[in-house]
Amino acid sequence: MARRSKSKRPEPRRAPEGRRRVIAGSARKAEGDPRPTTLDDRPLALALTRDRRRLLVTLPHELWIVDASTLEPERTVPVPAIHPSVSEGPGGVLWLGGHHLHRASLHATTVTKVGTKLGGFVDRVCALRTGLVCGAGSQGEVLWDDEKEKPAHRRKVSERKIHALIAAAGGRAVWADGSQSAWLIDPDYPSGYTRLRLRATSPAEVTAEGITALGLTFRGAPILAARDGAVAWMDQDLRIVGERIPARGGALTPLAVAADTQWIYVLRPRGLLHRVLIAQPPESDDEEQAPLPELAACRLRWPATCMALKTDAHGNARLYLGGPQADGMLGRLWIEDPAQLEWSPLATGERARVEEVAPDEPRAVSFVATRSKLHDGAPLGQLRVDEVLELGARGREVLITQRHGSLLERPVARRAPGDVMPADAVLLPAMIRAREGTARPALLLWPGVSDPADEPPAPAWLTWGDRPRGWMPVTTPKIREQGWSRTDLFPWQVALPRPPALAGHRAEIAERWIDPALFEALRLECKRLLKVLW
């Protein structure tokens, strides 16, 4: 008998210089192994391909194609959008939304721009039929006919935000803009939309009842999920089959929705996962079984922001979950078996309907200034590092800039903390130590809003680059222009002087970042070692 030779572990493959990067995992994982995979950025959405063999992981500026059974990344596709949307059409064609409409493939890493003047109509996209794509965005909706290379339908609206867009059964699309209604577009009758609402919807406009997430039942019918935790599912004729509303409130904004034949899974903030019972299992003559709870909850190992579900031929489900790590600068992808999670029953309740009231007297327009005028300030890209570090050491003044516009071209001015207006964007001096060990100057863009009811924008980071030398936004394209990878930078160490009290509603800064002593130590180290020059 011939003696078998031991198989060697395959060497990690390296992409030749000048070619598109194709990722090879470190070690092959066994089927069902829940060991997490690290992503280059926080994941925005997860979706399974039509053959259920791959997972499409949407990141800022990038799309990862991952093996669904092992979580091994196969390739990355660069996307020219910070918040891209992806949908797979027949034949492995990928439609990418964002600032513009692009076409890609499951088996390639190139993207091709499609159409013109589609900006604001394709923030989110979904493939409905062969050659027909639906897009919805801040400016309206569009049905793009790829064979004719022109829109088959377009509707322009006032500016709004699209929270979700899905392709339902019958080649129809459903989108939600955060209001109390979702809308269905039928390509055969595009002149009129069908409104979808929960039965327990108030006559008056209630923000908490707004629909912000959509899903599909195993038959392809829509699932509606609202901010207050309410979930409703329909049949293919768009009739409400059931509704569930948690008795307790809290942070219940839905982040993602998925379903199998028995349960609807709703992902919520802070690692909370709800499941809603669609139907009780069939009764067995052998033994009596206690009825399953209509609503249950569990806490995941890590906070998640997106989810997808895969069911095999035996009815066993696997939950694919993606979430942030390293302060949201990296991502994590992992698998959970919902049957192994610790579920706790939850009580269901009813909505308190809000009736319409007579409108108040129209208020006079307020001319109170909420932001500073910065017409003559020097652009941010010309800001000297020594000036930034000096402000951080003294703390007597702060730098302010505008909230909008090209980041490095925004004007910058100095202000006393008491003169900062609520809607001003503040630039906080910072020092960071990258994962590879180098200390660098940095800036934290800290925007504010004047209305406490509005959600403040998330802070954004800038750091000092080497090639070219200057301030750079900490985004994936700019990081790669420097010849770095995101794992070279993150997780990083952050040191901020304690920021002064400022007007306006702003995002909370992590307390562990505020360390004046470490800021000073990193500042002196950076000047002494001269690894970073300015």
Q: Confidence band (pLDDT; 50, 70, 90) for 369?
A: confident
pLDDT given for residue 374 in this prediction? 87
Q: Determine if the peptide bond prior to 78 is cis (ω within 30°).
A: no
pLDDT in tens, 184-237: 999 999 989 999 999 999 999 999 999 999 999 999 999 999 999 999 999 999
In Å, how far are 52, 58, 66, 260, 316 from 313, measured between CA atoms? 12, 27, 21, 12, 7
Q: Confidence band (pLDDT; 50, 70, 90) for 325?
A: very high
What average pLDDT does the segment 304-329 reach?
94
What is the secondary structure of 500-534 as a DSSP string?
PP-SSEEPPPPGGGB-HHHHHHHHHHHHHH-SS--
pLDDT given for residue 34 in this prediction? 59
- What pTM did the predictor assign? 0.89
Domains for the chain: give ranges and CATH numbers.
Answer: 37-281+290-345 (2.130.10.10), 378-529 (no CATH)
In Å, how far are 278, 378, 380, 509 from 398, measured between CA atoms? 55, 15, 14, 16
Token pair in block for residue 309: 């579900």
Considering only CA atoms, which of 430, 429, 437 is closest in space to residue 531? 437
Which residues are bridge partners to 405 per DSSP? none
pLDDT given for residue 376 in this prediction? 80
pLDDT tops 80 at residue 366:
no
Contact 406, 425 (CB under 8 A): no
The residue that leads in pLDDT, 26 or 427, is 427
H or E element in which residue 273 lies? strand 272-277
User: Cα(first)–Cα(last) distance of the chain, in Å?
Assistant: 69
pLDDT given for residue 9 in this prediction? 44
* pLDDT above 90: percentage of residues in the chain: 80
CA separation for the pair 437, 439 (Å, rounded): 7
Average pLDDT, the chain: 90
pLDDT tops 60 at residue 361:
yes
pLDDT given for residue 289 in this prediction? 78
pLDDT tops 80 at residue 17:
no
pLDDT in tens, 448-465: 999 888 889 999 999 999
pLDDT in tens, 75-125: 999 999 999 999 999 999 999 999 999 999 999 999 999 999 999 999 999
